[in-house]
Every structure is written in C-alpha cells, then in structure tokens.
C-alpha cells in the first residue's frame, strides 16, 4: 500500500515516509482464545487476536507500526476450485 493511501487511515505516515513509498502489511493470527463447533449451523465460532505488521521502507530491519486486533466470528470449511480446504471467515 502506498504511504499516501495509508496516511488516510493512520495519520502521520506521510510526515515520515515519501508519499510514493510502499508499505507491506503482514497479518497473522496470534492467538485463538475460544473455539466451539455449532452442529445446527455447521460452522465454528471463534475469538482470536490478529497482529498486523507494517514494513519500514527506510530500514527493513524494523517495522513502522504494529497493530493488535481482537476479532470474533464464525468460520465454515469449504472446498475451493483447486480442491483445497479453505476457511471462510464471517466477522460478528
């Protein structure tokens, strides 16, 4: 994502980095706190913490930002067109 676009969401990025610099955002599930299977609706309810890491275009050894997000929702298991199982997540 370009710094100019990211600055609309996180104020101050354009003051530090060049307007056309690219910021890579990496997201991962950090911790799953609650999992329960609902046989009626055939889905899995969950509560989890997600970590979003923002790259630093000036020095790739450091991150420019880290955001922790708590989510809650349900997921269903599906088979995609490549015959691989995928989880479709619906947030509450």
Query: Does the predicted TM-score (pTM) go above 0.75?
Result: no
Q: Residue 3 has which token pair?
A: 């710094």
Model pLDDT for residues 25-82, shown as the tens digit of each residue: 999 988 888 788 777 767 888 899 999 999 998 998 999 889 999 989 888 888 888 8
Domain count, the chain: 1
Domain that holds residue 35: 3-91
Contact 5, 23 (CB under 8 A): no
56 three-state secondary structure: coil
Contact 73, 46 (CB under 8 A): yes
């Amino acid at each position: 994502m370009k710094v100019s676009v990211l600055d609309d969401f996180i104020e101050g990025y354009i003051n530090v980095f060049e307007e056309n610099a690219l910021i890579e955002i990496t997201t991962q599930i950090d911790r799953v706190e609650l999992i329960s299977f609902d046989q009626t609706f055939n889905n899995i309810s969950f509560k989890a913490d997600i970590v979003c890491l923002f790259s630093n275009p000036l020095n790739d050894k450091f991150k420019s930002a880290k955001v922790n997000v708590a989510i809650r929702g349900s997921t269903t298991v599906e088979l995609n067109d490549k015959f691989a199982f995928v989880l479709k997540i619906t947030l509450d």
